[in-house]
Amino acid sequence: MSAAAPRGAAPAPGRRWLPFLLVAAVYAVAVAQNITLPGVYMDAVNPDYLAVRLLSRHTEPIAAWLLPGNYLAGRAPVLISFYHGSQQAWLGLPGFFLFGTTVTGLRITHALFGLGVLAALFAVLGRAGLRPWQSAVACAALALDPSFTYAFRTQSYITVAPMAWLLLSLYCIQRAGAADAHRTRWLAGSGALYGLAVVGYFVYAFFLPALLLALHWSLPRAGPGRGGWLAWCAGAAIGGAFYPIGYALVALQMGGVGGAWAYFQQTQRALHAFSEQPALAERLAHVAATIASAFQNSFHHTLIFGEHGVVPGASFKMALLLALPGLAWLRAEWRRDATPALRTFVALAISFIAVAMLFGTRLSGHHYMVLVPLAYGALALGLGSLAAAPRAWQGTTATFALPLAVLVALNVGGQVREAQRLAATGGTGFYSDAINRLAADLDAAPRRPFVYFPDWGLSMPVAFLTGGRVGMDSLEDFAAGRKMLCDGRDVAVAIVTGDRAARVAAWQKGFGWDAPAAVVPYAQRDGKELFVLATFRGRRDGPGCG
């Protein structure tokens, strides 16, 4: 995957990374804007909320959502679902320890995941032959892209974060292509990193065909050889070992393979993973619309603000990121000077889209968000190819820098617009900062209640933001709640959907208790009520106690 080496002596490894400091600084500015906003969406902290049990032995009971048997000792998660593991919770532990399980701590820790993606892309581009300043400009443009930065404030973080593993896997392939003595080790490392990416989220399996081609293109003389292929496959098996381990734990919990298979079928039916199988034209239309939602940031904007919106110059930006790399690749193939790196980045996008189409219209914007970093890498490599041509127009610097400068300007405009909207609204719906206020109120209560969250959307953020100091469950259990009330402990119920007053009354009847001492509404900044928290006062001389 190496391009032709740049002219002049290569800078020392330390100096080669100096331009990346500018990338980190630019990214830090983008991350710091309204860092406590929006509210912590439930899937934007899953599986991170489980970190509170790993950081402290003295947490209250919290409901853990993961596969049966995959919560070792009630503290250590393995597989969250059949299609992704818990590595974000484990990788986030140092950040949560240093910065706390607060909104700011979550944003900083997730930003470190993003910084890892940027660093891995910088390494791959540099190894492919781009000069350090070229790699830095491309990474800085990505760091400013709202589609990238807001991925780490939404559920897209779980899909974009493993991109660091995929890029590092490519870097190992690059090193294997240039190495003789340690080629097998680099190939094994590439496989292991790719396995980790797939454990991070299943969509990284979509890249496998392109990754196998990258192995062929980067080791062109004899290919990886039998030993190289075995090393890569062995590494992938080790990196992806959490899947078979997690599945085995499910089988143990469910009484055998038959029970585990029945549970899998039940889960698959609930997810409808392959149920939406429309005609080819509809699939293509869905893919095109979903890719647009990722690159124009309309997916994140709709999630956070409950309205459709795109970044400034959205169509032109998409043309730069999607059409220009493709044209540069076709030109390079026509001239027979396409580099393995450029071919690989284009192939990765094609491979992903081809496999994703098998899921019909089931996949959405956060799945396709993985294409955004790859598009910036492909653009940089394509521009590098154009700039290296014997008759590059207006000189190599302008050929490379002008399109990326336009992207930087568009992305800055997008950042400003999104930040202004965020400051004005605080987020809407399940992204409202009302969720942050709920967690703060519960944590600060003189008598912290045990809270039932019968509706989706609130339990995981509250568990994380309170550091596990508030006991909770998501299942209706009137007997357990009544026992706590009779023991003198307050019990609260958060109601999101339906007739809230009627549902609070139903919980009161289920507990066989007095009316709630308080019913507190929580609204987003425009005054729209999102949910209520009804708190029942516990006392030992309550109705029927004793």
Q: Which of 343, 371, 345, 368 is nearest to 356 (CA)?
A: 368
């044209």: which residue's tokens? 327
At 4 the pLDDT is 41
Would you state the pLDDT for residue 218? 81
Backbone region of residue 467 per phi and psi (left: phi > 0; alpha: psi in -120 to 50; beta: other values): left
Contact 147, 109 (CB under 8 A): no
Tens digits of per-residue pLDDT, 13-35? 678 899 999 999 999 999 999 99
Smallest Cα–Cα separation from 101: which of 438, 448, 439? 439
Q: Give me 136's structure tokens.
A: 């830095």
Q: Write down the pLDDT at residue 221.
A: 63
Model confidence, pTM? 0.94
Question: DSSP letters along 426-486, please?
Answer: ---GGGSTHHHHHHHHHHH-SSPPEEE--STTSHHHHHHHTTT-S-EESS--HHHHHHHHH
Q: Distance (Å, rounded) from C-alpha 47 to C-alpha 45?
A: 6
| Cα separations in angstroms, 300 against 145, 296, 305, 422, 492 | 12, 9, 8, 12, 32
pLDDT for 63 = 87
In the predicted structure, residue 170 carries a pLDDT above the cut 70: yes
Distance of CA 232 to the CA centre of its chain: 26
178-211 per-residue burial string, b: 16 or more CB within 10 A, e: under 16 = eeeeebbebbbbbbbbbbbbbbbbbbbebbeebb
pLDDT for res 337 = 85
**The token pair that represents 527 in the structure block:** 């005054």
d(CA 124, CA 177): 13
Q: Considering the chain, what percentage of its residues have pLDDT values greater than 90?
A: 82
pLDDT band at 271; cut points 50, 70, 90: low
User: Could you say which DSSP state residue 345 is in?
Assistant: H
Residue 317 CA to residue 331 CA, distance in Å, equals 21
Is 145 a domain residue? yes
pLDDT of residue 131: 93
* Strand ranges for 22-125 from DSSP E: 71-72, 76-77, 79-81, 84-85
Regarding beta strands 84-85 and 472-473, do their DSSP bridges make them parallel or antiparallel, or are they unpaired? unpaired
Which tokens in the block code for residue 407? 């992207």
Whether 401 is covered by a domain: the verdict is yes
Does residue 511 fall inside a structural domain?
no
CA distance 188 to 235: 5
Q: Which of 529, 532, 439, 450 has the alpha carbon at shortest distance from 487?
A: 450
User: pLDDT for 355-381, tens place per residue?
Assistant: 999 998 989 999 999 999 999 999 999
At 281-296, the pLDDT tens digits run: 999 999 999 999 999 9
Which residues 6+ apart lie within 8 Å of 438 measured at CB?
458, 462, 494, 522, 531, 533
Is the bond preceding residue 516 a cis peptide, omega within 30 degrees?
no
Q: Is the model's pLDDT at 392 over the cut of 90?
A: no
Question: Which residues on adjacent β-strands are paired with residue 84?
Answer: 81
> In whole angstroms, what separates CA 517 from the centre of its chain?
40
Q: Span 123-140, mean pLDDT?
A: 96
In a domain, 166, yes or no: yes
**Structural domains of the chain, count:** 1
Rounded CA gap, 396 and 387, in Å? 4
**Average pLDDT over every residue of 436-464:** 96
pLDDT at 390: 58
Tokens of 323: 């059409």
434 inside domain = no
**Cis previous bond, 47, omega within 30:** yes
The span from the CA of 309 to the CA of 296, in Å, is 8
Q: For the chain, what percent of residues have pLDDT higher than 70?
A: 94
Q: Is 534 helix (H, G, I), strand (E, B) or coil?
A: strand
| Average pLDDT estimate for 494-499 | 97
Mean pLDDT, rounded, for 187-194: 97
The gap between the terminal CA atoms of the chain, to the nearest Å, is 75
pLDDT of residue 388: 72
Q: Between these two residues, 504 and 268, which has the higher pLDDT value?
A: 504
pLDDT higher than threshold 90 for residue 57: no
Q: What angle do CA 109, 110, 113 make, to 5 degrees?
A: 100
Integer Cα distance of 15 and 154 in angstroms:
35
3 pLDDT above the threshold of 50:
no
Confidence at 267, pLDDT banded by 50, 70, 90 = confident
Could you tell me the residue range of the domain that residue 300 belongs to? 13-32+102-240+272-425
